[in-house]
Amino acid sequence: MKKRIMFLESRYDSFYGAQKSMLKLIKGLKSQRFVSKVVTTEDGELKRNLESCNVKVDVVKLGKSSNVFGGRVLNYSIIKKIVVLFQLIFYNLKLVRYIFHNKIDIIYVNDSRALLYTLLASKILNKKIVWYIRADISNSIITRICLRHSDYIITIANGVLRNLPLKTINKYKIKTTNIYTGFDFDTFNVINKRKAKKMLDIPDNCNVIGYLGSIHQRKGIDTLVDSYINLTKYDKNVFLLIVGNISQGYKKYFDLQLSKLEKEKVPFKYIPYTNKVSEIYSAMDIFVLPSKSEGLPRVIIEAMGHKVPVIVTDVGGTKEIVVNKDYGLFFDVGDSNDLTNKLIELLRDNNYREALSKKGNEFVLERFSDNKFIEEINHFFERI
């Protein structure tokens, strides 16, 4: 009999690393052994993108007051927080009906938010919860609740647990498995750099400093912007390229970053997310990931897979991709001056950039293969 898995994704309007990895997982499961049912809380980018990949998405609606991001619930009045509580209870009752009707065996969640969404329903129906930890987690009350009530834990990188006490890590070690995301590198299409820049209407004689990912405060876009503005004082032959959609609740944050760039009259281009990532990466001379927290960032692997040298922060599992200075450079979280210095170092040394491009590319092709991921993820769900 096939095992039936419900994939509950709380971020209905996002389609970035976590959601792409979930799609990779769903596509990798053997159809003769598993049935996948994807559930989210509202129509949005998630549903559109997954269904364009022939993965059906069911919407079990959550109340509007609860279905918000960016810490907005914390600023609610007591009365509105009570409304949120009742909405979550009602949502779990709807999930109970959905799980029972679809004969779900296993509940998979992408983050702590989704786990809390389904906690009551899973307990009522005695269903196993698999929590896939995709970003470094803090030793908070919510984290401890999720660690305790998840039946199985997958970590996307060993580094996502680095902020937990060793005692806590050891306590839940028996139910934790690390599985690196796989990539189909054959789909990567490295384009001539000059041609790629022209395709994006960027001067082909500029060195492009690039970022691709969600626009969110934890991604450290402000550090990148401040560093780039500082860099233009030393090097006029640079261009900033930012690609990605704005996460819910962070429009004001990003508008502030754009206003800083416009005020300084420095060259830059912002493009909403596009599936044509090979064109984007091929136009970059250096890729920067200035995150304050991460899991195993797909974008670093994608950049290195497109032979782009990288500068990143030491958060989450980044050191499991950029293992030392032969593969990329690190700068301190939130330190725009340190990032500027690292950018200058790479921009002034073409040979070093080429060496990073070559060695980084060889490394990710070997470590993050699709076949290895598919084998491990099927084995994981088969043994539950």
What's the confidence (pLDDT) of residue 21? 85
Classify residue 56 as left (phi > 0), alpha (psi -120 to 50) or beta.
Answer: beta
Average of per-residue pLDDT across 232-243:
96
Comparing 67-81, 82-96, 240-254, the range with the smallest average pLDDT is: 67-81
How far apart are alpha carbons 319 and 150 in whole angstroms? 27
Residue 190 sits in the same domain as residue 243: yes
Over pLDDT 70: what percentage of the chain? Answer: 100
pLDDT class for 357, splitting at 50, 70, 90? Answer: very high
CATH code: domain of residue 215: 3.40.50.2000
How far apart are alpha carbons 352 and 313 in whole angstroms? 19
Please check the confidence at residue 47 and state whether its pLDDT lies above 90.
yes
Residue 191 sits in the same domain as residue 114: no
Residue 350 sits in the same domain as residue 377: no
What's the confidence (pLDDT) of residue 248? 82
Domains in the chain: how many in total?
A: 2
Cα dist from 264 to 45, 225, 227, 233, 261, whole Å: 33, 11, 12, 11, 5
Q: Which residue has the tokens 């293992």?
A: 323
Averaged pLDDT of the chain: 94
Residue 340 sits in the same domain as residue 248: yes
Average of per-residue pLDDT across 25-29:
94
Please check the confidence at residue 369 and state whether its pLDDT lies above 90.
no
Residue 195 sits in the same domain as residue 308: yes
What's the confidence (pLDDT) of residue 136? 87
pLDDT in tens, 220-230: 999 999 999 99
Q: Are 276 and 99 in contact (CB under 8 A)?
A: no
Please check the confidence at residue 121 and state whether its pLDDT lies above 90.
yes
Find the domain containing 70 and state its range.
3-182+369-382
Centroid of chain to Cα 47: 17
How far apart are alpha carbons 304 and 357 in whole angstroms? 7
Residue 169 sits in the same domain as residue 55: yes
DSSP 157: S
Strand-pair partners of 295 = 135
Strand-pair partners of 349 = none
Residue 358 sits in the same domain as residue 273: yes
pLDDT class for 41, splitting at 50, 70, 90? Answer: very high
Residue 377 sits in the same domain as residue 351: no
What's the confidence (pLDDT) of residue 69? 86
Is residue 344 within a helix (H) or strand (E), and if so which, with residue range? helix 336-347
What's the confidence (pLDDT) of residue 70? 78
Q: Are 348 and 235 in contact (CB under 8 A)?
A: no
What's the confidence (pLDDT) of residue 32? 94
Q: Are 123 and 148 in contact (CB under 8 A)?
A: no
| Half-sphere exposure of residue 370: CA atoms within 13 angstroms, side-chain side | 11
DSSP 62: P
Other beta carbons within 10 Å of 76: 15
What's the confidence (pLDDT) of residue 153? 97
pLDDT in tens, 312-352: 999 999 999 999 999 999 999 999 999 999 999 999 999 99
pLDDT class for 26, splitting at 50, 70, 90? Answer: very high
pLDDT in tens, 167-221: 999 999 999 999 998 888 999 999 999 999 999 999 999 999 999 999 999 999 9
Q: What would the 3-class secondary structure string for 77-120 be?
A: CHHHHHHHHHHHHHHHHHHHHHHHHCCCCEEEECCHHHHHHHHH
Q: Which residue has the tokens 């416009």?
A: 262
How far apart are alpha carbons 170 and 146 in whole angstroms? 16
What's the confidence (pLDDT) of residue 182? 87
Residue 151 sits in the same domain as residue 203: no
pLDDT in tens, 138-173: 999 999 999 999 999 999 999 999 999 999 999 999
Residue 346 sits in the same domain as residue 285: yes
What's the confidence (pLDDT) of residue 3? 96
Q: What is the Cα Rg of the chain in Å?
A: 21
What's the confidence (pLDDT) of residue 134? 86
Residue 139 sits in the same domain as residue 276: no
Over pLDDT 90: what percentage of the chain? Answer: 88
Residue 163 sits in the same domain as residue 198: no
